[in-house]
Homo-oligomer: A and B are copies of this chain.
Amino acid sequence: MAKSDGKPQSDGISPERISEAEHAVMEVIWDRGTATAAEVCEAVCEKRDWSLATVKTLLSRLVQKQAIATRPDGRRFIYTPMIERVDYVGGESRRLVDRLFGGKAASLVAHLAETEALSDDDLSEIEDILKELKR
């Protein structure tokens, strides 16, 4: 099957970049589908050694970037993702492939293989994936 045109991933709004720290927050929200500031903090503050204030800042920046939306719930907000994880991951992957491998995804795989970044498990998994695709 050809790839060509698929879903129109982006409606036209700005492709506001999400920073690394912001991404960590997104990850939590994607994971639980929805979260409050406190919940996000609970999930990452310790791990990344952040204060709640930091999480709040990141959340508002993400709202500005329209990566998440807010729904009031009493005195606090419930945050929900506006962009899908799969889209984000896809975008980032593409950026990498474009920047480092001239847009050729196969080159990425080749690189991983050559530098032995692929475990045996990885290899057989990839094999399975290919087999699946061939059908």
Contact = CB atoms under 8 A, between A and B. Distances in A.
Interface of A: 1-3, 6, 20, 23, 86, 89-90, 92-94, 96-97, 99-101, 104-106, 108-113, 115-123, 125-127, 129-130, 132-134
Contacts of A122: 104-106, 109
A89 B93 contact: no
B23 A117 contact: no
Contact of A126 (B23, B93, B106): B106
A1 B121 CA distance: 11
Contacts of A132: 113
B116 A105 contact: no
B109 A86 contact: no
Contacts of A96: 92-93, 96
Contacts of A101: 89
B129 A133 contact: no
Given A126-B126, A127-B130, A86 B113 contact: no
B104 A86 contact: no
Nearest to A130: B127
Given A105-B118, A105-B119, 20 more contacts: A2-B119, A3-B117, A3-B119, A23-B99, A90-B111, A92-B96, A93-B100, A93-B111, A104-B122, A106-B121, A106-B122, A106-B126, A108-B112, A109-B122, A109-B129, A110-B125, A113-B130, A113-B133, A123-B133, A123-B134
